[in-house]
Amino acid sequence: MSIKIGFIGLGIMGAPMAVRLAQGGHALFVQTRSQVREEVTAAGATVCATAAEVARQADVIFTMVPDTPDVERVLFGADGVAAGLASGGKGKVVVDMSSISPVATKDFAQRIEALGAEWLDAPVSGGEVGAKAGTLSIMVGGQEATFERIKPLFQLMGKNITLVGGASAGQVTKVANQIIVALNIAAVGEALVFASKAGADPAKVREALMGGFASSRILEVHGERMIKRTFNPGFRIALHQKDLNLALQSAKAMNVALPNTAGTAQLMQTAAAQGWDQLDHSALVRALEVMAHHEVGSTTDAG
């Protein structure tokens, strides 16, 4: 059955996700602040002038924007989703797939539900590659009945789809995910910088480690990026910085210590200070290289 779907935010992740929904046979209404990508219009999407228009046209509205203030603007700003729901939100579902504050998410859910619509927060992991392939991991917070209703749409975009709990549980899970990913990137970077400066071939070291207990998806994918110096963004350092800040802010509110997260956040700040925050988060290794005065794979100390 074809569903009228709205998709707001057509960046590196949002565009391929929207295309996969359209390829599933659904009518697609889109809006973004930048120019709509050719692959989205080629998939048959109708471009709307405002988020409110998307909400009026669609029965399920997905949002995929960078940060908490962006979600708030899209939902509750002038000509936002809430304005479109005000004339008839009952039965509609708003699904925020951005990675944002769990605290703000609870508030957003209550405000959307007050308009008669249903809410799910469903942040993702898997990067641009997963978005294009439809293999994202999707972590969902919200009511079970709403989740079951939207699950067939999630299955067009992802493979590992889990209802974690009520509203904001998806965002809590995503923050936990980003802690694990960031610390693993830092660990792989440290290991490869160490091995390379010690005179070993980092490619061979990575190959050896892939067969043991140190093996991981991060070592496989981002370890290769570090060695080949392919830092074109799949997930930018700036966005991962934002996610670690969410982790540290939430931890402070709960009196929870996250010492390794804090240290990795400082490495990301070092990378940002060098102007590398728009590179892929695997470029975190460059901050470690600065401190080691050595580039992974080089035969001499970096200048």
What is the CB neighbour count within 10 angstroms for residue 235? 21
Among 174, 204, 228, 252, the active-site one is 174
CA distance 284 to 15: 26
Place of tokens 């889990």: 162
The angle, 0 to 180 degrees and rounded to 10, between the axes of the packed helices 169-197 and 259-273 is 70
Residue 141 backbone dihedrals phi, psi, to 5 degrees: -120, 140
Is the Cβ–Cβ distance between 196 and 296 less than 8 Å? yes
- Inter-CA distances, 286 with 163, 217, 291, Å: 36, 20, 9
CA distance 246 to 182: 13
Active site (annotated) includes residue 174 = yes
CA distance 221 to 224: 5
User: Catalytic amino acids?
Assistant: 174
